[in-house]
Structure 1
């Protein structure tokens, strides 16, 4: 699993791992039902503490992207079990913030929507 992590970023590494896994699922690089690497294996591969990966997996589990089991490990949920984006108030607030930042930065509504279209990947 290839991850782009920025150790100089203000975004905590566990959150970057979470985001990379969600992007991988959304882009089809990680399949629905696929078993993720063990905490130890992923931590060793990317050079972080096992607690960091464990925290990322726990967050993904809480958010409904993966299911963790002591015997099976971490497995990506089936597509029909993924959390509903549209009903998540947190996502709506993040999108409003992003749109506001784009507008303040001189981005037109159409430019912003074009960027959203480019970023959106249908799986």
Structure 2
């Protein structure tokens, strides 16, 4: 999966990397145990500072999406990403709060918000099924 970084985006580059790797995992674009480029290689491929990639990788490792081994490199956990427990669900809740608050502040109906979430969920699952079939 090739990452698409938007240098003019308000979203920090390290978060773009994190979000795209997580999306790749969710869509089945990355398989358990799959190797990812090294920090330096990814930075060179994208044309950004390696410290930015390192920051993204450190965050992804802390959240359990990747494993970093000194000699073996960077990979998706071989057993897959850990299933959400109560603590992870609380973290997801904290991340969703400002999104829900913005939707309400912008007068997005609950029905529209739920439909949008449902459509995104379906998109991710369809992509995952397609990748599994290949």
- 1:56 corresponding residue in structure 2: 56
TM-score (normalised: structure 1): 0.88
TM-score (normalised: structure 2): 0.81
**2:26 matched to 1:29?**
no
**2:19 matched to 1:19?**
yes
SS at match of 1:10: coil
- Counterpart CA distance in 2 for 1:33 and 1:21 is 14
SS at match of 2:57: helix
- Counterpart CA distance in 1 for 2:94 and 2:66 is 23
- Counterpart CA distance in 1 for 2:76 and 2:8 is 28
Question: Over aligned residues, Cα RMSD in angstroms?
Answer: 1.7
Paired residues for 1:102-121 under 5 Å? 102-120=103-121, 121=124
**Alignment: residue pair count:** 122
Structure 2 residue runs of 5 or longer lacking an equivalent are 129-134
- 1:96 corresponding residue in structure 2: 97
- Counterpart CA distance in 2 for 1:113 and 1:103 is 12
SS at match of 1:84: coil
SS at match of 2:54: helix
SS at match of 2:75: strand
Change (3 A) 1:107 1:86: farther
SS at match of 1:7: coil
* Runs of 4+ residues over 3 Å off in structure 1: none
